[in-house]
Amino acid sequence: MDARVDRIARPWGGRTPYARHGQWPTRVDTHLVDGVTADEVERWVQTASVLHSGGDAMDIAVRDGRMVGVRGRAIDRVNRGRLGPKDLFAWQAGASPDRLTRPLIREGGRLVETDWETAMNRVVSRSRELLGERGPGSIGFYTSGQLFLEEYYTLAVLARAGIGTNHLDGNTRLCTSTAAEALKESFGCDGQPGSFDDIDHADVIALFGHNLAETQPVQWMRVLDRLEGADPPRLVCVDPRPTQVARRATVHLAPRIGTNVALLNALLHETIRHERIDHAYIEAHTVGFEELAARVANCTAEWAAAICDVPARLIVQAAEVIGTTGRLLSTVLQGIYQSHQSTAAAVQINNLHLIRGMLGRPGAGVLQMNGQPTAQNTRECGANGDLPGFRNWENDDHVAELAKVWNVEPTTIPHYAPPTHAMQMFRYAEQGSIRMLWISGTNPAVSLPELTRIRSILSQDRLFTVVQDLFPTETAQLADVVLPAAAWGEKTGTFTNADRTVHLSDKAVEPPGEARPDLDIFLDYAARMDFRDKDGGPLLPWHDPESAFEAWKRCSAGRPCDYTGLTYGRLRGGSGIQWPCTEEAPDGTPRLHTDGIGWAHPDECESYGKDLLTGASAGVVEYRSLNPDGKAMIKAAEFLPLHEAPSQEHPFQLTTGRTAYHFHTRTKTGRTPQLNAAAPDVWVEISEADAAARDLEEGDLVEVTSPRGALRGRLRVTDLRRGALFVPFHYGYWDTPAGSGPDGRTPGRAANEATVTDWDPVSKQPLFKTAAAGLTLVEKGGGQPSPAPTTTASEPRPGSRVPATEGGPSARVLQTTATDRASQEGAR
């Protein structure tokens, strides 16, 4: 059955209900540019989405050497043909006229076009100078969550063993480092326990700070389809905003921002008090239960209600829903990860599952999610403040093994301290010990907290900045050398989504001008730097994506993220495959910890753990004594008051986040007509009570202020919790006259003008949810609505006269569903 659906107005499209334990029906979404029909498409080229961490599999339609549309892949386990709004439309951004097509270098204070030879020579000569004068610690690399596995791995080898620096991290620090850290703390090692397929089987789905509807819209379609089928799941939602998830939830808790640990300790208290625990599982597979029981003994629902400002009866009710089901799936995202005590909170969610024995079975699992599409790969490949293959930097055997894979001496690989995290790298650049920063595929001048500080760091004369990107971003405008990179669809590689599914992404079209794949740029740099292994051979002997993938497979062998059973050939044509994929498990592995805990043994674990409050390292001796047999670790944490509490001058809590229509700093989605029109400018959400108390209404232009800076946006009044302000973090300055930051004529527009420089001491993930903020009226709206979409968590309160968000004819998407079981099978 075919239908045409405006997928801006209806981001999740039509329903295909299915029953619990059934197979999610196929629905193929296709979007082709006006005037091109399916039979005019010359080639369909396989790939998956790089606009969120869902990994929706799709094919790119190519005609006359250009992309002309996309179609979901019905065969893929992740999405069964469905695509989200960003998947459907954002591919158009690659053909934007303002793509970077030639390298740029700074001459006399201005960026001017040059050739690759000149640009690379400048990068290489600065690298050599710094290595000679100041040593490897003067060079840092800050990468992305949007490159491919082969590129991260290449970067990790050249940085860690070529330059020999400890300073390599990804912007995945901002989105996924708490997920990784929470898994290390509980299970000894990174690795997503659950699978998206658990949505098919769960009886209760608890979403903690996870606006699934907007962050991974296709998996939300899956939940919606189950909600409309037989034996639907009940949802528990923890979120200060009235998200689509909250609207469909059996219990919605909107705690005061920064109080997640208190809330979770109360949920654990209730679970233990009512004996809703699996003693046999605890005994067989965990250590530390007694400490948790003691820690939460006094954390009653009433105690938490006072801290979190939610009714105690709702906490009790949520605990009952979570505690009485036999199949619990929990998912976790930025409402936990970017908030106060992030790792401590994320670990308490793991604890809920450990004490209830809800792991490793269909419908019983945890998804510690990621925000960015290829965040999983920065973690695996050692480009996110870890060593490649989830190796433990404190374990000399692991370092020796890695050195063997790379054929270098172990001392070549810095491992005297943990790999430097991004926030510390920017601090080192600020105080002057890092003198060269190579930024690939990310835009810190919009995405990091406290932007006045970040711009001042990036603008220093003594800091040599290389920016490798698709567009002249706010960050690129501050660089010394700008390298034009090829985009998704213009290069080949693989990447892995949040449930460990590996997809191949083939090249569909040529990159514009002289733009080159990130892999080629890194390999070119490595060749020019003449990095050698200990026998004098090239340190990076691979030359293209497939040979890089084969090199990575050798590095991953025997580790949890084992890719040895995968090849480009196996990934081409079929569905994505979940790692570990080996000779023994050639079809991949849906769930981890199905038979006890996998990688927590002291000799195998990725981390010996940290103090959940201070971030202090525990060390191998303590790890061995507490967890000699490699079980899961139940770690308790006490609630700590916020670092920046609201005050008279700054009475609100500013919380930032995303919308369904944009990704990251809008470099692609802001250049996509349908998506840009759906959410064209920044806005500020406020609760009805706070708006009424200040005589503010929809559309009023307000200024949000903090001790760090200010931004302006038009007000949207919603059912947000009282005391909070929400601002989307996507908006920057590239599409304003100012260019890279606010100036006399362009007021602040980025949410991060006002956020605070503070991070979780355990995961080092910055806090984007908790800044104290003030609010002032700039001018009345006079009937002009806020540019916020009406279809999402920013939906206005009932009765407002805001026009509904629509996409019109250019947003109509063909939706093909099978009408009966037989044709459904045929479609696959």
Q: Which residues bind other proteins (CB under 8 A)?
A: 134-135, 137-138, 166, 416-418, 420, 423-424, 427-428, 430-433, 460, 611, 613-618, 640-641, 643, 757-759, 761, 764
The nearer residue to other proteins, 149 or 762, going by C-beta atoms, is 762
How far is it, in rounded angstroms, from Cα 387 to Cα 413?
9
Say if CB 288 and CB 633 are below 8 A apart: yes
Which residue lies nearer to other proteins by CB, 342 or 669? Answer: 342
The minimum distance between CB 587 and other proteins, in angstroms, equals 41
CB of 637 to other proteins, least distance (A): 12
Element (H, E) at 713: strand 710-718
* Cβ atoms of residues 203 and 193 within 8 Å: no
Kind of pairing between the strands at 2-6 and 771-779: unpaired
| Tally of CB atoms within 10 A around 724 | 22
Alpha helices in 467-507 (DSSP H): none
- Tell the smallest beta-carbon distance from residue 422 to other proteins (Å): 12
Minimum CB distance to other proteins smaller for 20 or for 453: 453
Shortest distance, position 632 Cβ to other proteins, whole Å: 22
**Closest distance to other proteins from the beta carbon of 414 (Å):** 8
CB atoms inside a 10 Å sphere around CB 631: 22
Closer to other proteins by Cβ: residue 96 or 460: 460
- In this complex, which beta carbon is closest to other proteins, that of residue 387 or of residue 504? 387
Nearer to other proteins, 458 or 793 (CB): 458
Instruction: Give the chain's length.
Output: 828
Query: What minimum distance in Å lies between the beta carbon of 430 and other proteins?
Result: 6
Amino acid at the residue 226: R
State which H helix or E strand residue 816 sits in.
strand 812-817
Burial group, residue 375, by CB count within 10 angstroms (0-12, 13-18, 19+): buried
Query: Helices marked H in 91-216 — which ranges?
Result: 116-133, 149-157, 177-187, 198-201, 212-215
680 CB burial (10 A radius; 0-12, 13-18, 19+): middle
Return the number of the residue (530 or 622) whose C-beta is nearest other proteins.
622
For residue 31, give the 3-state DSSP assignment: strand
329 CB-near residues (< 8 Å, 6+ apart): 194, 198, 199, 201, 202, 204, 205, 206, 233, 363, 364, 365, 366, 367
Q: With respect to other proteins, which residue has the nearer C-beta, 426 or 734?
A: 426
Q: Are 398 and 568 in contact (CB under 8 A)?
A: no
Task: Say how many CA atoms lie within 13 Å of 86 toward its Cβ.
Answer: 29
Q: Toward other proteins, which CB reaches closer, 491 or 650?
A: 650
Measure Cα distances from 602 to 187, 388, 618 in Å: 11, 18, 12
CA distance 58 to 67: 13
Q: Beta partners for 718?
A: 687
Taking the complex as a whole, the smallest distance from the CB of residue 443 to other proteins amounts, in Å, to 21
Q: Are strands 481-484 and 104-107 parallel, antiparallel or unpaired?
A: antiparallel
d(CA 662, CA 215): 10
Q: Tell me how far the alpha carbon of residue 370 is from its chain's centroid.
A: 4
Instruction: Give 627 or 794: the residue with its C-beta nearer to other proteins.
Output: 627
Query: What are the φ/ψ torsions at residue 606 (nearest 5 degrees)?
Result: -80, -25
Euclidean distance between CA atoms 664 and 730, whole angstroms: 6
